[in-house]
Amino acid sequence: MTVALRHRQDWIMSPDLRLRATFDKAAASYQDARPNYPDELYSDLLAITGVTPSAHLLEVGCGPGKATLPLARMGFQITAVELGDALAMEARQRLTEFSGVSVITSSFEGWQPPAEACFDLLYAATAWKWMDPEVKYAKAAALLAPDGHLAVWNADHAMPAGFDPFFTEIQKVYEEIGEGHDGPWPPPPPEDQPDPMAAEFEASGHFTVAATQLYVWALRYTADEYIALLNTFSGHIAMEPAKREHLYREIRRHLAARPDGRLTRHWSAVLTVGRRL
C-alpha cells in the first residue's frame, strides 16, 4: 500500500509538542521508572480488535518498549517507530530476542513505510498526543487494513476518592515555583472524566469508536523512586534546574516525615479503540 500523504515541512510544533523530544534524555531510566500497563488492558485490546499473533502491528512512539514487550511475548509481529535515538536503542536491546519485532528510529509523521505496508492494528501507548494532529489520523487510516483498528492509551495521574494527601501538600510547592496545576484542585476522579480521545477519533473522519475502557491502579513509591519517575516526565525534564531541585528537596522532606517514607500514587489509563472507516 502506498501512503499518499504530504508531511508539511512548515509544520511548527506547539510548545507542548516540542516537549516530545525531551523523553530521549530519560531513555536509561524510563522502562524501570514508568509503571507497567494493566494485564487487563492487553486482554481487552485483543478481545475488542480480534487480533491474533498472526497479525502485524504498528506501534507509534514505542519508547524503550514498555508496551511492545507484552505484545511481543504473545508472538505478534510488530513494527515500532520511535523518534528518540536513545529510546530506540533501548527498545532494540530489550526486544532483541523477538525476531518478528523491528524498531525504526523516526518520527511517525516523517516515516516512509514500505509500499506494501499494511497493518491490522496501529497502537500508541502514552504517545499519541505527541503526534501532529493534522497528520496522524489520516496516516494511521492509510496504513491499516480494511476494518483495521487504532488503539491509544495513556498512563495518567489519577485522583480517586481518598487519594494520598501528599499530593495536595506538594501542590503548594508547585504553585510556589510557578508550576501549579491548571484548573481546580483536586481534579475530578477518573470515573468522572470524559474520554478525551473518543471525540477526537470521531471528528477525524477516519475512525469510529469501537470501545473505551478505564483502568485505575495504585503504586507505592519511596522518595528516590518517585523522583526517578518525575525525571521521565517532559515537564520536569524541561523545568528550570533551580525549581526542580527545590521541588525534589520538598518531596524528600515531606516523605521523610512519614513513618515508612512512602507515598501512594494512583494511575489511570483509558483505552480508546477505533475502527477504520
Domain containing residue 51: CATH number: 3.40.50.150
The pLDDT value given to residue 14: 46
What's the total number of domains in the chain?
Answer: 1
Is residue 111 assigned to a domain?
yes
- Cis bond before residue 189 (omega within 30° of 0): no
Is residue 170 assigned to a domain?
no
The pLDDT value given to residue 12: 34
Average pLDDT over residues 211-238: 97
Is residue 7 assigned to a domain?
no
Is residue 99 assigned to a domain?
yes
The pLDDT value given to residue 8: 31
Question: At residue 149, does pLDDT exceed 90?
Answer: yes
Question: At residue 220, does pLDDT exceed 60?
Answer: yes
Is residue 200 assigned to a domain?
yes
Please provide the average confidence, as pLDDT, over all residues in the chain: 92
Q: What is the pLDDT of residues 258-275, one digit of tens each?
A: 999 999 999 999 999 999
Is residue 8 assigned to a domain?
no
The pLDDT value given to residue 17: 60
Percent of the chain with pLDDT over 70: 94
Confidence of residue 4 (pLDDT cuts 50, 70, 90): very low
Question: At residue 169, does pLDDT exceed 70?
Answer: yes
Is residue 241 assigned to a domain?
no
Question: At residue 127, does pLDDT exceed 50?
Answer: yes
Full-model pTM: 0.91
What is the sign, positive or negative, of the torsion defined by CA atoms of 75, 119, 62, 41? negative
Is residue 163 assigned to a domain?
no
Question: At residue 140, does pLDDT exceed 60?
Answer: yes
Question: At residue 159, does pLDDT exceed 90?
Answer: yes
Domain extent at residue 67:
15-158+188-218+266-276
